[in-house]
């Protein structure tokens, strides 16, 4: 069984290796940060297998019985006044059939003033997108591997244009309980548009991510390392604003070496007291930090930090993520135990 699942992952990965990242696919909101916890740990985490019901929006293999009857509501006032949020809920039928998961991701781009080609006002318009997901995970035989899948229905309305699509996420996670070590692989957004905006079929933001994490034996810290966008190499291109000129006026483009490309795929995170009622979370996203960095100015792009506090049957989470000197994001989350 395990060999069949690994073979399926390899096949799906080979079908999507030409997939692109930002700006070259539709429904980009599908890969936005799903919770304050994820935001605090650098933006993408695949390996948390605990009460965090929102984690399954990114890696369905993490669906587990600890999520039973947990409801999570998350919101962010994003860059440029964009508002988006997520919701998730899980329910365990019984110990044999495990846990079913449902989730939603919603984004509202706000209101815009419309004008025709002659500069005449056509009134205001808005844009919003929504994805509904349904997930399930299962143990692979009697191994330490767990396999999960999300099925997603996607709607998008941008001004007078609308689109509908469908996709699946696939996840595989290895859990070593003796070492408290987790390793996970997620293949996201395998699908297509069913109806297009204006007759042109666009690809979905296909993504392959890999992550590992471990809780230290004698210290209440769980560290995380995530490698994102493994479907594309190289992931970064020279920034024209960082070109240099010599005394003769000859211009040289920014050079991004092999190590620079590797680092741009890497996200680091750490969580203090991961199983307690009070958590402190820190993260660093190398790609965000490098691509949003201002030359000759320290602006701490890529850093994120957050806290979580549990009060009775509710857990409140907050994260502040640093993007640029001109724009940062705050993430708020509430998880309620309905049992």
Model confidence pLDDT, tens digit, residues 189-214: 999 999 999 888 999 999 999 999 99
User: In this predicted structure, which of 78-82, 112-116, 246-250 has the lowest mean pLDDT?
Assistant: 246-250
pLDDT tier for residue 73 given thresholds of 50, 70 and 90: very high
Distances (CA, A) of 101 to 53, 134, 159, 167, 191: 8, 6, 32, 16, 20
Q: Which residue has the higher pLDDT, 216 or 11?
A: 216
Give the pLDDT of residue 241: 65
Give the pLDDT of residue 237: 72
The pTM of the full predicted model, rounded to 2 decimals, is: 0.86
Counting residues of the chain whose pLDDT is more than 70, the rounded percentage is 86
Give the pLDDT of residue 1: 47
Give the pLDDT of residue 234: 85
Instruction: Tell me if residue 228 falls in helix, strand or coil.
Output: coil
Give the pLDDT of residue 249: 64
Q: Residue 127: how many CB atoms within 10 A of its CB?
A: 16
Mean pLDDT of 238-255: 67
Residue 318 has pLDDT above 70, yes or no: yes
CATH topology for the 2-240+250-337 domain: Porin (2.40.160)
Mean pLDDT of 21-43: 88
Residue 258 neighbours by CB under 8 Å, 6+ apart: none
Following DSSP, what letter does each residue of 84-147 receive, concatenated? EEEEEEEEEEETTTEEEEEEEEEEEEEEEEEE-TTS-EEEEEEEEEEEEEEEEEEE-TTSSEEE
Mean pLDDT of 240-250: 65
Residue 282 has pLDDT above 70, yes or no: yes
What is the C-alpha separation between 71 and 314, in angstroms, rounded? 10
Q: Give burial (CB, 10 Å; 0-12/13-18/19+) of 187.
A: buried
Residue 4 has pLDDT above 50, yes or no: no
pLDDT tier for residue 82 given thresholds of 50, 70 and 90: confident
Give the pLDDT of residue 242: 67
Q: Residue 216: how many CB atoms within 10 A of its CB?
A: 11
Q: Which residue has the higher pLDDT, 303 or 119?
A: 303
What mean pLDDT is reported for the chain? Answer: 87
Place of tokens 């991510």: 209
What is the C-alpha separation between 175 and 184, in angstroms, rounded? 9
Q: Which residue has the higher pLDDT, 5 or 172?
A: 172
Mean pLDDT of 156-181: 95
Residue 278 structure tokens: 């009070």
Report for 18-32, 56-70, 112-126: range of highest mean pLDDT: 56-70
pLDDT tier for residue 66 given thresholds of 50, 70 and 90: very high
Give the pLDDT of residue 12: 42
Residue 7 neighbours by CB under 8 Å, 6+ apart: none
SS3 content of the chain, % helix, strand, coil (to 5): 15, 50, 35
Residue 67 neighbours by CB under 8 Å, 6+ apart: 51, 52, 53, 56, 90, 92, 99, 101
């Amino acid at each position: 069984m395990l060999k069949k699942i690994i073979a399926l992952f390899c096949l799906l990965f080979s079908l999507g290796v030409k997939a692109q990242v930002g700006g070259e696919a539709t429904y980009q909101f599908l890969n936005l940060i799903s919770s304050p916890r994820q935001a605090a740990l650098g933006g993408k985490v695949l390996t948390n297998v605990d009460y965090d019901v929102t984690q399954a929006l990114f890696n369905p293999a993490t669906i587990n019985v600890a999520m039973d009857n947990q409801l999570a509501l998350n919101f962010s006032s994003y860059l440029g006044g964009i508002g988006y949020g997520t919701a998730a809920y899980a329910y365990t039928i019984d110990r044999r059939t495990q846990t079913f998961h449902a989730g939603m991701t919603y984004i509202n781009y706000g209101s815009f003033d419309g004008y025709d080609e002659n500069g005449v006002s056509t009134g205001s318009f808005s844009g919003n997108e929504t994805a509904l997901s349904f997930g399930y995970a299962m143990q692979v035989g009697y191994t330490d591997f767990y396999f999960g899948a999300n099925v997603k229905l996607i709607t998008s309305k941008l001004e007078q244009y609308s689109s509908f699509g469908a996709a699946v996420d696939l996840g595989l996670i290895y859990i070593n309980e003796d070492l408290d070590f987790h390793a996970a692989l997620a293949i996201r957004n395998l699908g297509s548009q069913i109806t297009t905006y204006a007759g042109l079929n666009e690809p979905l933001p296909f993504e392959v991510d890999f992550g590992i994490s471990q809780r230290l034996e004698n210290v209440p810290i769980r560290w995380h390392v995530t490698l994102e966008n493994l479907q594309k190499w190289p992931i970064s291109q020279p920034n024209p604003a960082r070109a240099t000129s010599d005394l003769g006026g000859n211009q040289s483009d920014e050079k991004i070496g092999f190590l620079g490309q590797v680092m741009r795929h890497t996200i680091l995170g750490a969580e203090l007291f991961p199983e307690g009622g009070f958590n402190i979370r820190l993260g660093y996203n190398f790609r965000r930090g490098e691509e949003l960095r201002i030359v000759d100015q320290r602006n701490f792009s890529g850093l994120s930090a957050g806290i979580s506090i549990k009060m009775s049957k509710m857990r409140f989470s907050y994260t502040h993520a640093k993007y640029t000197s001109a724009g940062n994001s705050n993430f708020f989350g509430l998880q309620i135990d309905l049992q």
